[in-house]
Amino acid sequence: MKRIAVFTSGGDAPGMNAHIRAVERTAGKRGLEVIGIIGGYAGMIAGHFEVLDRIRTANILDRGGTVLKTSRCEEFMHPDGRTKAAEQLVKHGIDAVIACGGDGTFSGAHFLNAEHGVTIIGTPGTIDNDLSGTDYTIGYDTAINTATAAIDKIRDTADSHGRLFFIEVMGRHAGFIAMDVGVATGAEYVAVHETLTDIEVLYQRIIAQGLDSRTIVIVGEGDELGGAYELSRTMEERYGLASKVSILGHMQRGGSPTVRDRVLGARLGAAAVDALLEGYSNVMIGEIGGSITYVPLRETWENRKQVPQYLLELAHLLV
């Protein structure tokens, strides 16, 4: 093995740059050349490759997003697109690939390996924290701290005006962000897709606060009732309760990564290089209980990670 490639795909996540830097630094120490694929799978198909060195990866640790850019590539979802991508890897003399992303990225990586024999390792880069085989994903810690800081500011105006706020956070298929920030901000209710949202219980929580008191309700975007706007509309139509809605949106993906995400990104990047050299392929490198894990890519999305029961109970207990 002489030349490896690294790319980021799907939604960007703070800490991806620390990961890229660690791959370049570690590979260099192991005698490998590193190629950066620009723009995820779309860049792989188009042949947008560039050599990564110490200069290219310098001073990127504190930057959010990804210097390698990212994309969601419809073409790669089809066999013809994956064939084009594999041909580009051969053309550029790539012996192995490190793919940083979420379940969509890992699904593509799995099929690239299965159909074309590409040696590929996945690393978990997503703010949703929804991949099995790792305690935390790169970007999650920054996202929950960003969301918590924003909600703390919204609380100030909610307190001043005695208003009911529905605040929507990311996590279409997983409620990790919502549950953590709900507990951290003292929300009166947390609505996530893992549990059924009980409108009557929510109403009673709001009443218990007093109609002239501030009330914060955290809503995961995957809640089965349709998100913050739908919950707000339902409460007004059914109970006559006026409310304000804040959608935190993509701000949760941005910003300088926390120390925790920088260290996690760096550790998993270094471990991914060593895993390739040890002969691993078609697995995700994760971290559980402080130890590096090797999990088949398919298991990372088929065995959907569940929000811990203690968090659900804690959110209910602390209201």
Which of 199, 244, 191 has the alpha carbon at shortest distance from 222? 191
Give the end-to-end CA distance of the chain in Å, rounded to a whole number: 56
| Contact in structure between 270 and 26 (CB atoms under 8 Å) | yes
* 128 flagged as catalytic: yes
Q: Which of the following is catalytic: 12, 128, 141, 261?
A: 128
Residues 6+ apart with CB under 8 A from 226: none
* Sequence letter at residue 119: T
Give dist(CA 193, CA 222) in Å, integer. Answer: 5
Give dist(CA 194, CA 182) in Å, integer. Answer: 14
Residues 6+ apart with CB under 8 A from 207: none
Known catalytic residues are 128
